[in-house]
Amino acid sequence: MAASLPFDQRDGDIWLNGEFVPWSAAQLHVLSHALHYASSVFEGERAYGGEIFKLTEHTERLFRSAEFLDMEIPYTVAEIDDACKALLARQGLQDAYVRPVAWRGSEMMGVSAQTTKINVAIAIWEWPSYFDAEERLKGIRLDMAKWRRPDPATIPCEAKAAGLYMICTLSKHAAERKGYADALMLDYRGQVAEATGANVFFIKDGELHTPTPDCFLNGITRQTVMELARTRQIKINERVIMPEEMADFEECFIVGTAAEVTPVSEIGPYSFTVGDITTTLMNDYTSAVQPKVAAAE
């Protein structure tokens, strides 16, 4: 399948409101509330070797996100888990990207939307590394974003909600126009926050340093990498990080379902090496996401 093929022209099926429908038939009306008012939540998941990594954790977060947006998903967590597994098998894929999404429909048009139907869909497709493979191994380059993660008093920052990614798209577009792979965003206080779709870690003197996720998502991959670091007895400092501190960090990497564990060589004027701890955690993550093969009896 060509990477440039539009997403509405791909093959296979999509799970839509409890049924498998042909990919091209999974459509919504232009007056759907989600299109106009961003009343939509979603998840990004990866399947490795035919198994979706931390599927239930992702599904549970989908439901929490919906609650933050005053949406009640008309299925159970178990039903969505089962639908994801069934669709993965139906698509015939082993390594793939999984995208569940829930949104308000077209029954009402206006800010108020109490009687809109909550629709749910799941799509699964092949998706290679989020960044260029060669660039990823030597460390990607990040721009410093113009836009900042907002005050949590102004947004439902614990939700993985569509509207919260608008400034991420703007920041990534601006970075790519300058030749960068991505951008690092500060928060409303001027503190280091995250990349446009991934959490960030720094390394100094053998210890990890990562921003406290008090106005952005505490990513599932972020939590996984922290577990792996603790297993290695690597100390983790979850704290406020100011931009100027980046001058003293030795290594840097970003993490996310799409990004996995990706080394960073540059953020604006700051440079980093792809060192031993980054490489170790990158390899540990690769091992963690691969399905464990049962030992022969």
Catalytic positions, written as ranges: 160
User: What are 27's two structure tokens?
Assistant: 């459509």
What is each CA distance from 168 to 17, 63, 158, 200, in whole angstroms?
29, 22, 16, 15
**Cα 11 to Cα 13: distance, rounded to the nearest angstrom:** 7
User: What are 196's two structure tokens?
Assistant: 């446009």
Query: In the block, which residue shows the tokens 């990498």?
Result: 225
**Contact yes or no for 106/27 (Cβ under 8 A):** no
**Contact yes or no for 47/100 (Cβ under 8 A):** no
**Contact yes or no for 98/124 (Cβ under 8 A):** yes
For residue 265, what is the enclosing H or E element? strand 260-267
Phi-psi sector, 234: left (phi>0), alpha (psi -120 to 50), beta: beta
Give the angle subtended at the CA of 179 by the CAs of 262 and 240, to the nearest 5°: 50
**Cα 273 to Cα 106: distance, rounded to the nearest angstrom:** 50
- Cα 275 vs. chain centroid, distance in angstroms? 24
What are the helix (H) ranges across 141-275?
166-177, 220-231
